[in-house]
Amino acid sequence: MRDGSLARGAADDGERLRVLEKAAQTRHFAVQWDKFAADWKLEAGKAHEIHGTIESAAEWGEAKGTYKESHTEMGNAAEEFGETAAEYHYIAERYPDFEKQTLLGPRNGNDQFDQMWMHEDGRVVVIEAKSSPTTELGRRTLPGGRQVSQGSQEYFFDIIKRMEKRGEFKAVKALKVALKEGKLEYVVVKGEKNAGTYTGLQYRRFDISKGTLP
């Protein structure tokens, strides 16, 4: 696997940068709000332990509800930031003539790749998008019970099996042909950490020509 990065300046073409900045800002605000809600829930819980009143119970309940909402929003904003960095920076900079494919997986993102891009010459780019360099690769359990990580051959082919079950035959064929002909790029893209201003991304290309399980 090969590592690399793209600095903010590479995306400085006006409109693309505005999209990236908005995603970075939304993620930053969501993280800050989630931290506030987490602190409120903790303090409200401590206060209720001490006072045990109807009022303290009500505040604790409100704090817990707020934190649940803020945590969901933060997760969505983080996911959206990673997807935006992948599309509006990595792909736009390196593969501007590729077409984004519509994938039919569930809305929760399970059993599918984050993004798939195709060129008319048969080249395919598959992306797993992450919100920051510290975000871990996803894992899944194979039918036999063994766990595999994103970026492995086993993970890749298990997702393809799910796609076939959903009837995504055109996309599956393109993936298999691209892999066979050496025209497939499988990559994880991670947005750099930031405080509300887009600062670039990191990426890692995976080599799935060989299996990783015994």
d(CA 187, CA 10) in angstroms, rounded, equals 19
Is the CB of residue 11 less than 8 Å from the CB of residue 198?
yes
Contact yes or no for 44/59 (Cβ under 8 A): yes
Which amino acid is present at 69? Answer: E
State residue 162's pLDDT score: 95
Q: Is 4 exposed, middle or buried (0-12, 13-18, 19+ CB in 10 A)?
A: exposed
What is the sign of the dihedral through the CA atoms of 5, 192, 14 and 186?
A: positive
* The predicted structure's pLDDT at residue 91: 96
214, amino acid identity: P
Across the chain, which has 214 residues, the per-10-residue mean pLDDT values are 73 83 96 98 97 97 98 96 96 96 86 96 97 93 91 95 96 97 97 93 91 65
Q: What residue ranges do the domains of the chain occupy?
A: 2-206
List all residues 6 or more positions away from 172 whose beta carbon is below 8 Å from its beta carbon.
Answer: 160, 163, 164
Distance in angstroms (rounded) separating the CA atoms of residues 180 and 4: 25
Give the model's pLDDT for residue 206: 94
**Sign (positive or negative) of CA dihedral 46, 49, 51, 55:** positive
**CA neighbor of 56 nearest in space, from 68, 43, 69:** 43
Instruction: Check if the beta carbon of residue 91 is closer than 8 Å to that of residue 117.
Output: yes
Between 15-51 and 54-85, two packed helices, what is the crossing angle to 10 degrees? 160
φ and ψ of 127, to 5 deg:
-120, 135
Structure tokens at 15: 């409109």
The pLDDT value given to residue 2: 53
pLDDT at 1: 45
Q: What is the pLDDT of residue 12?
A: 63
Does residue 187 contact residue 201 with C-beta atoms inside 8 Å?
A: no
